[in-house]
A and B are shown apart, each in its own frame.
Chain A
Amino acid sequence: MSALLEVGELRVSFPGSRGRVVPVDGVSFTLSRGETLALVGESGAGKSLTSLALLRLVPPPGRIDPGAALRLDGTDLLGLEGEALRRIRGRRIAMVFQDPMTSLNPVLTIGDQISETIRAHFRLPAREARRRAESLLTEVGLGDSTDRYGSYPHQLSGGMRQRVMLAIALAAEPDLLIADEPTSALDVTVQAQILELLDRLKAARAMAVLLITHDLGIVAGRADRVAVMYAGRIVEEAPVDRLFAQPAHPYTKGLLASLPRLRGPRKPLGAIPGSVPVPGQWPVGCRFHPRCPQAMPRCLTEPPVVPLAAGHSMRCWLGVKES
């Protein structure tokens, strides 16, 4: 299976008072059709910026540094400009934002907002666009009422709005859906419904999904592979089951230890001491070493990416045998 999306050595930098600040620093991953990759990390790890970079929507004055590779189905996304780029956005790669309360235009009906995206990518008469929008609303579970199409965002609950956002994102039948914290702004019960819907839509359309989240609990049942991000880098990548069963990187272990468990002996929740360093003030060598319980002298030099098993790798000196 060839990869749908290839990201290589992606660096996003912003000008700072003392040289450029690099919040995303050499991120590489691939994603195949029908596959869900979860990008996990704390706030400030560079997850959202990575996803915006895929759409070439890094807010100015930020930029994608030269030397990165961004390929979708063989097309070099970094070489596209203007209209060609617009045709990628929404049509090939679509995005669902975190907060459904602010991601919808308050003065347009939800139906119009879906139709708009359809007509931005397909030459269709208004009536046909409306028909498709209505069937999308049904697909995301909002087909119960006849006049959902004419509803305004303020008439809907948060969960319903996120369903609308999904309908809009799917309007142009994208190959890749980026879901940036799609459930963080929702109630826990609604979270599960939206994630199930996301799964169902993915399966029905054979889409690839890039699920960005800070919540490992969400990842467990949904993703095929997980990439853990820390301070602008991917520190560990593994198939989801293996990551939960045999986490290798001390940061991943720390994250998993901080999850509450329903079964097993009761013990205090683990916490990782300290907090994520701010971009621009990253420690030398391994960026996690000041917080790492297993830090050693050579962590002051840049750790290599070490393959551990099929599809499992980490960026840590612990994987390297002493020579």
Chain B
Amino acid sequence: MRTSWQTIWSDRGGRLGIILLALFLLITLLAPAVLPDPRTMPDIAGGALLPPSPAHLLGTDHYSRDVLARLVAGARVSLAVAMGAVLISVTLGAAVGLVAGYLGGAIDAILMRLVDAALAIPRLFLLLLMVAIMEHIPLGVLILVIGATGWFGTSRLVRAEVMRLRTLDFVRAAEALGATRRGVVARHLLPNVAGPLAAATTLAVGDVILLEAGLSFLGLGVQPPTPSWGGMILDSKPFLVYAPWTSLPPGLAIVLTVLAVNLVGEALAQDSAGARP
């Protein structure tokens, strides 16, 4: 049995993705120790909108805050939102998909029609609606909302896999030998959908990073002064032309992170498409 790590590492794109992600993670975890705190320590003496210099590697923004420090702090927020939201949506999606696919019948029909209805509304509109109802959005609620609107596709994927698996001999054999329903789901179905699920999960992280950046850019996501990549781009929009160091770094960070995540996801997806029971 090849482990997921070996799978990703043997794929050239996957290896690049892993290296990039490891690098970002390292920077995100270690950099706050040496960089000034972005909220409490604006460099008033240095001045606002300073270009990159040895003192401020990526310059300062219009509040005299160090852009690199905010970028790193923003990474923590953006990645936390992405992982939290994906964890919620994958759990929900897997649960609904397993129930619908294994039990079938009326339960399946009801669940899938609900998913159809939810899928008919574009996710961004759904989010905008939910976010617009609330005045101020705490980070936890944002994670919850993004997670709750992201599981529809996953449930479809899991359901399709489960419907294929449940006709296979080993599932029928387990039933014939008195396995409980819970046992069949936990030990025979879930481990066998883990491959495609892992790929979908990874790709969903990329999606959510973009989604959160988009929401924050619209001012509806992470609220200032908490830094996030999308929020940073929004803040620096008026200075786009004469202080590009304020907006380019968060933009690049978004692009590179999503790219890295997708490379890993693709590597996993190709593998799970190749070897199936």
Q: Report Cα–Cα, A172/B173, bound state, in Å.
A: 14
Q: Do A106 and B277 touch (CB < 8 A)?
A: yes
Q: Report Cα–Cα, A93/B266, bound state, in Å.
A: 45
Q: Report Cα–Cα, A108/B173, bound state, in Å.
A: 14
Q: Do B178 and A105 touch (CB < 8 A)?
A: no
Q: Given A105-B170, A108-B191, does the pair A57, B183 have CB atoms closer than 8 Å?
A: no
- A interface bracket (residues with beta carbon within 8 Å of B): 20 to 34
Q: Given A94-B177, A120-B179, does the pair A107, B192 have CB atoms closer than 8 Å?
A: yes
> A87 is contacted by which of B171, B175, B178, B188 (Cβ under 8 Å)?
B178
Q: Report Cα–Cα, A107/B189, bound state, in Å.
A: 10
Choose among B174, B187, B277 the residue with the greatest number of A CB atoms under 10 Å from its CB. Answer: B174
Q: Report Cα–Cα, A57/B178, bound state, in Å.
A: 11
> A70-92, CB under 8 A of B: which get 1 and which 0?
00000000000000001111110
- Asked whether A99 is an interface residue with its Cβ less than 8 Å from the other chain, the reply is yes
Residues of B contacting A168 with CB < 8 Å? 173, 177
Q: Do B173 and A95 touch (CB < 8 A)?
A: yes
Q: Report Cα–Cα, A104/B169, bound state, in Å.
A: 8
Q: Report Cα–Cα, A292/B175, bound state, in Å.
A: 40
Q: Do A91 and B192 touch (CB < 8 A)?
A: no
Q: Do B177 and A89 touch (CB < 8 A)?
A: yes
- Asked whether B194 is an interface residue with its Cβ less than 8 Å from the other chain, the reply is yes
Chain B residue at smallest Cβ distance from A51: B176
Q: Do B177 and A105 touch (CB < 8 A)?
A: no
Q: Do A103 and B177 touch (CB < 8 A)?
A: no
Q: Report Cα–Cα, A105/B176, bound state, in Å.
A: 14
Q: Do B169 and A57 touch (CB < 8 A)?
A: no
- Asked whether A139 is an interface residue with its Cβ less than 8 Å from the other chain, the reply is no
Interface residue SS majority, chain B:
helix
- Asked whether A116 is an interface residue with its Cβ less than 8 Å from the other chain, the reply is yes
Q: Do B177 and A120 touch (CB < 8 A)?
A: yes
Choose among B169, B171, B172 the residue with the greatest number of A CB atoms under 10 Å from its CB. Answer: B169
Q: Given A102-B170, A105-B187, A108-B187, does the pair A86, B180 have CB atoms closer than 8 Å?
A: yes
Residues of B contacting A90 with CB < 8 Å? 176-179
Q: Do A105 and B172 touch (CB < 8 A)?
A: no
- Asked whether A253 is an interface residue with its Cβ less than 8 Å from the other chain, the reply is no
Q: Do A97 and B172 touch (CB < 8 A)?
A: yes
- Asked whether A117 is an interface residue with its Cβ less than 8 Å from the other chain, the reply is yes
- Asked whether B168 is an interface residue with its Cβ less than 8 Å from the other chain, the reply is yes
- Asked whether B121 is an interface residue with its Cβ less than 8 Å from the other chain, the reply is no
Q: Do A152 and B1 touch (CB < 8 A)?
A: yes
- B interface bracket (residues with beta carbon within 8 Å of A): 20 to 34
> A95 is contacted by which of B176, B187, B188, B194 (Cβ under 8 Å)?
B176
Q: Do B175 and A57 touch (CB < 8 A)?
A: yes
- Asked whether A222 is an interface residue with its Cβ less than 8 Å from the other chain, the reply is no
Q: Do B177 and A95 touch (CB < 8 A)?
A: yes
Q: Give, as a whole number of angstroms, the nearest-CB distance from B97 to chain A.
A: 17
Q: Report Cα–Cα, A165/B177, bound state, in Å.
A: 11
- Asked whether A169 is an interface residue with its Cβ less than 8 Å from the other chain, the reply is yes
Residues of A contacting B169 with CB < 8 Å? 97, 99, 102-103
Residues of A contacting B168 with CB < 8 Å? 102
Q: Do A105 and B174 touch (CB < 8 A)?
A: yes
> B73-105, CB under 8 A of A: which get 1 and which 0?
000000000000000000000000000000000
Residues of A contacting B277 with CB < 8 Å? 102, 105-107
Q: Report Cα–Cα, A171/B178, bound state, in Å.
A: 11
Q: Report Cα–Cα, A95/B178, bound state, in Å.
A: 10
Q: Give, as a whole number of angstroms, the nearest-CB distance from B67 to chain A.
A: 47
- Asked whether A121 is an interface residue with its Cβ less than 8 Å from the other chain, the reply is yes
- Asked whether A140 is an interface residue with its Cβ less than 8 Å from the other chain, the reply is no
> B44-86, CB under 8 A of A: which get 1 and which 0?
0000000000000000000000000000000000000000000
Q: Report Cα–Cα, A99/B169, bound state, in Å.
A: 8
- Asked whether A55 is an interface residue with its Cβ less than 8 Å from the other chain, the reply is yes
Q: Give, as a whole number of angstroms, the nearest-CB distance from B158 to chain A.
A: 15
Q: Give, as a whole number of angstroms, the nearest-CB distance from B274 to chain A.
A: 14
Residues of A contacting B1 with CB < 8 Å? 107, 152, 154
Q: Report Cα–Cα, A90/B180, bound state, in Å.
A: 11
Q: Report Cα–Cα, A158/B176, bound state, in Å.
A: 21
| Residues of A117-176 contacting chain B, CB below 8 A | 117, 120-121, 152, 154, 165, 168-169, 171-172
Q: Do B177 and A169 touch (CB < 8 A)?
A: yes
Residues of A contacting B191 with CB < 8 Å? 105, 107-108
Q: Do A116 and B172 touch (CB < 8 A)?
A: no
Q: Do B170 and A121 touch (CB < 8 A)?
A: no
Q: Report Cα–Cα, A272/B175, bound state, in Å.
A: 38
Q: Do A57 and B174 touch (CB < 8 A)?
A: no
The list of the 8 closest CB pairs from A to B, nearest first, reads A90-B178, A90-B177, A89-B178, A102-B169, A103-B169, A106-B277, A107-B191, A95-B176
Question: Taking beta carbons and an 8 Å cutoff, which residues of B are in contact with A?
Answer: 1, 168-180, 183, 187-188, 191-192, 194, 277
5 chain-A/chain-B pairs, Cβ below 8 angstroms: A57-B172, A97-B173, A102-B168, A105-B277, A120-B178
6 further interface pairs, Cβ-Cβ under 8 Å (given A108-B188, A165-B173): A87-B178, A105-B171, A107-B194, A117-B174, A154-B1, A172-B177
